[in-house]
Amino acid sequence: MLPSYVGYGLLLVFGLFFTLITFVMQRRRKQAMTAEQFSTAGRSVGVGLASASIIAAWTWAATLMMSSSTGYQYGISGPYWYAAGACIQVLLFAIVAINLKKRAPNAHTFLEFIGQRFDKKNHRLIMGFALMTNILVTSMVVLGGAIALNSLTGMNIYVAAFLIPLTFTIYTMIGGLKASFIADYFNTVMIFTILAIFATVVYVKFGIDPIYEGLSNMPSSDSMLTMASVSGLFFGMINIIGNFGAVFVDQAYWQRAIASKDSAASKAYIYGGISWFSIPFAIATFLGVSAAGLGITVGSPDSVAPEMAAHLLGGVGSILFLAMLFMAVMSTGAAELTAITNIIVTDIYRKSINPKASSDRLLNVSRKVTLGFGLMMGVLSILLFKVGIGLGWVYMAMGIFVSGAVIPVTLGLLWKKATNEGTFYGASAGLVFGVTAWFTSAYLLFGEISIRSLGELQSMFFGNITVFLVSGTISIGHALMSNQEFDFDSLQDKFRSFDDEENDDEITEEEIMYGGKQASAK
């Protein structure tokens, strides 16, 4: 629909724009960048900026493309089930955010809390779930952007997959988490602006009547025009269950709670969650449901959004959709990049490799990890593409792989009776039984175990629901039987700022030079 140089141009323009903004901000900062600033943005982010960042981080490529696909396939129930099914988790996370700020005010990752709340084996297990979540989300984000660039501009999909991460890796490496927040704000404004343009064009150009009549004349009109779509209901349940893992086990969302002011943490998730609802609900209605009602034929349901955008406004529509999609890819990609950097630096390097690392050393390692993982993102997405796994398949299967840790992690933060054994066996058994139920139902219902049968809604549903039932039953049941209690007050002095430790090291050196109390007083 567009020449390939448009895709390259968008990557170049957006990458340079946000890198330049970050560079200027860094030069004008009165305070030098430290490891603490890089990983937590100084824990001083207000409710407005935090809300915008949550909206942007939760707006994946799948939010725009997968939601439109549900509207095209399931009718008016699709947009609702996608938006509502992925909104609940962000709203409920406000409760978790409050407790994290209260019980571990100086923590850098939720895994750092898990390491103090539970034993080593639980820390390693939950870290495995967290890294798996980051890798899956990152792969989906980059792959979705690469597919859209390829379908709209003819840009080589492998080149796109490698260039997309570079656009946000560079500015994130320079400015850390605060740079991600600033970029998220710009991206959110742009996404809502372009969304409003598409909504206005659909309403002015076609109106409601032709779309309604087109849906009424379809063989499946009853399910397309009501909430009675069985397929839509199945998708909604999978969406609700699976996305708990994508929020509660993703360091990117814990990080926004950590970076927010105490007074802003819970409000940011409530405002952000409610505002985010309008993005998939609107885009799926105006591009997905409208395309179905107007009888527009598309190559694949996953590509209905960009094709409908081109149908509405031609080349301009394609450019607008690409810009909106690229904003979503940049925001989520940067959020995941900072999340995995914090996990590797805090829970691997600082915990096991170099516990006495200085703030400057941690900052240096953080930037190297950010660059290294940013370059790896393209490779991960290409692996999915090579295997032949689509965006929708990974989106619905993700809950099976990562949601086993949701209930154990949440109980560990909120409930003093949560136990080490219940957490470990609940999370691990949830994964094992979930995958088993997924494969078994695919074989019994469709006669084979393949990517196609595993991707069916029924197979996905049984796998996802089993994970929650098993992990919840084991973690709660063991806690009730053992009757142990954990003292959360004992954690108050367990978490310290990277910069505080640097200051402590300086005082220790002074004490050595000048002698005991005099140096301390000095």
Q: Would the CA dihedral through 106, 110, 114, 115 be positive or negative?
A: negative
In 3-state terms, what secondary structure has residue 260? strand
Question: In the prediction, which pLDDT does 504 show?
Answer: 47
Q: How far apart are alpha carbons 302 and 66 in whole angstroms?
A: 6
- Could you identify the residue written with the tokens 């080349």? 315
Q: Would the CA dihedral through 362, 366, 372, 376 be positive or negative?
A: positive
Q: How far apart are alpha carbons 98 and 101 in whole angstroms?
A: 5
Residue 221 counted as domain residue:
yes
Statement to judge: residues 377 and 412 lie in one domain: no
In 3-state terms, what secondary structure has residue 45? strand
Residue 194 counted as domain residue:
yes
Q: How many residues does the chain have?
A: 522
Statement to judge: residues 323 and 419 lie in one domain: no
Contacts of 381 (CB under 8 A, 6+ apart): 138, 139, 140, 141, 142, 143, 146, 161
Residue 143 counted as domain residue:
yes
Cross-strand partners of 45: 260
Range of the domain at 413: 404-491
How far apart are the two ends of the chain, measured CA to CA in Å?
69
Question: In the prediction, which pLDDT does 51 show?
Answer: 93
CA 396 to chain centre: 14
Residue 355 class from Cβ within 10 Å (0-12 exposed, 13-18 middle, 19+ buried)? exposed
Residue 480 class from Cβ within 10 Å (0-12 exposed, 13-18 middle, 19+ buried)? exposed
Q: How far apart are alpha carbons 236 and 19 in whole angstroms?
A: 38
Statement to judge: residues 247 and 360 lie in one domain: yes
Angle of helix 157-205 versus helix 47-58 axis, rounded to 10: 110
Statement to judge: residues 300 and 337 lie in one domain: yes
User: Is the Cβ–Cβ distance between 432 and 406 less than 8 Å?
Assistant: no
Statement to judge: residues 219 and 298 lie in one domain: yes
Residue 151 counted as domain residue:
yes
CATH number at residue 40: 1.20.1730.10
Statement to judge: residues 357 and 478 lie in one domain: no
DSSP for 438-476? HHHHHHHHHSS-SHHHHTSHHHHHHHHHHHHHHHHHHHH
State how far the alpha carbon of 349 is from the alpha carbons of 71, 130, 352, 354, 366, in Å.
Answer: 45, 16, 6, 6, 10
Tokens representing residue 160 in the block:
């796109």
Which tens digits make up the pLDDT trace of 257-279? 999 888 888 889 999 999 999 99
Contacts of 102 (CB under 8 A, 6+ apart): none
Residue 147 counted as domain residue:
yes
CA 424 to chain centre: 24
Statement to judge: residues 353 and 417 lie in one domain: no
User: Is the Cβ–Cβ distance between 39 and 366 less than 8 Å?
Assistant: yes
Which tens digits make up the pLDDT trace of 177-204? 888 888 889 989 999 999 999 999 999 9
User: Is the Cβ–Cβ distance between 321 and 123 less than 8 Å?
Assistant: no
- Report the amino acid identity of residue 457: L
Residue 250 counted as domain residue:
yes
Angle of helix 88-103 versus helix 406-414 axis, rounded to 10: 40
User: Is the Cβ–Cβ distance between 326 and 145 less than 8 Å?
Assistant: yes
Q: How many domains does the chain have?
A: 2
Tokens representing residue 418 in the block:
């949560």
DSSP for 239-254? HHHHHHHHHHT-HHHH
Statement to judge: residues 233 and 109 lie in one domain: yes
Statement to judge: residues 193 and 317 lie in one domain: yes
Residue 521 counted as domain residue:
no
Statement to judge: residues 481 and 499 lie in one domain: no
Q: Would the CA dihedral through 404, 410, 412, 418 be positive or negative?
A: negative
Statement to judge: residues 355 and 223 lie in one domain: yes
Q: Phi and psi (nearest 5°) for 260?
A: -80, 155
- Nearest CA among 425, 47, 467 for reference residue 271: 47
- Report the amino acid identity of residue 158: Y
Q: Would the CA dihedral through 30, 36, 39, 42 be positive or negative?
A: negative
Statement to judge: residues 144 and 155 lie in one domain: yes
Given a cut of 50, the residues of the chain with pLDDT beneath it are 503-522
